[in-house]
Chain A
Amino acid sequence: MDAFSIEGTPKTPTVDFNSETGVIEIKGRSIPENSIEFYKPLVDWLEDYLANPAALTNVNIQLEYFNTSSSKCILDVFKKLEAIYKSGNEVIINWHYEEDDEDMLEAGEDYQSIIKIPFKMIEIEE
């Protein structure tokens, strides 16, 4: 299965999904007006990946900003990852947040309480 990547823009994140290494990254900012349109190919890719995932899927989320319309789409991404986890594969979500960004830490904790996958909260020093 092909790797999937999108370059970041001022309103959308850099995306790197690699089925061979199992590394899945979303970095930058996610504040598009139409988040559903942006996230659909990501969710579709994960749906295909679910059929034959790597033994360990390592997810790195490092967002500086995301808007509320992205928040549901990010949850949809996590729900696909949860399905991979529930089918017996290892998945870990590394939630990065900048030092002192309590709102971003809290957002990660919200997802952690909804999604039954191991989360690791990683503080980035400025």
Chain B
Amino acid sequence: MIFNLNKWYKEKQDGEILLSYKGDISSDLITDVLEIIESKLEEKDINSKIRKKVYNTLVECLQNIYHHLDELPFNDETLFNGRFALFLVTKVNEEYRISVGNFIKSEKKQILTDRLNQINSLTREELKSLYKLILNNHDFSEKGGGGLGMIDIAKKTGSKLEYNFYEHKNDYLFYSLSINIS
């Protein structure tokens, strides 16, 4: 079955939508989005712990996409051209949910799967140790944090990272990630 991106986007629009975006992602867009979500969260009378966790998680998710998305090479996909990504912040009952999706080259699937499964298998204490180990021992690239972002999210939210890969075409996949914060 061919992956239907619009269907994915629609399905994620569950509960109260604080923010949803589909399109080009740039540094300026991230700045604007963070400003919007910050004021939206302030409007809500939620405790500062949750507010900060939602904000932090969104920062890491968006910057992860910013650094690691792959642009689709073909012009026939007019809708998904360029630095394309989707993301949503929703609230279902008392739980906040951040969902993000972007295209990547298929060859990245295995390494991402291994990394996400490893993170999901660790306890909070183990995540804490791994975070410190990478922080202190690994060289970071210009692109970012040596995989620290996902570890940081798992450590701070205490949630499992829910991920999926959907076949696209020509060796590209749609990679989606969802995180619950409560």
**Which residues of A are at the interface with B, using a C-beta cutoff of 8 A?**
10-11, 31, 33-34, 36, 65, 67-69, 71-72, 75, 98, 100-103, 106, 110, 113-114, 126
Given contacts A10-B35, A72-B135, A126-B48, contact A103 B142 (CB under 8 A): no
Given contacts A11-B31, A103-B156, contact A65 B63 (CB under 8 A): no
Choose, from B54-62, B69-77, B86-94, B115-123, the stretch at the interface: B54-62
Residues of B within 8 A of A106 (CB): 128
Most chain B CB neighbours (cut-off 10 Å) among A33, A36, A68, A101: A68
> Interface majority SS on B: helix, strand, loop or mixed?
helix
Interface presence of B23 (CB below 8 A): no
**Which residues of B are at the interface with A, using a C-beta cutoff of 8 A?**
27, 30-31, 34-35, 47-49, 52-53, 55-56, 59-60, 63, 66-67, 128, 131-132, 135-136, 140, 142, 144-146, 148-149, 151-152, 156
Residues of B within 8 A of A10 (CB): 31, 34-35
Report whether B53 and A103 are in contact in the complex, using a CB–CB cutoff of 8 Å. yes
- Residue on A with the closest CB to B38? A10
Residues of B within 8 A of A71 (CB): 135, 145, 148
Given contacts A10-B34, A68-B60, contact A36 B152 (CB under 8 A): no
Report whether B136 and A114 are in contact in the complex, using a CB–CB cutoff of 8 Å. yes
Given contacts A103-B52, A103-B53, contact A72 B30 (CB under 8 A): no
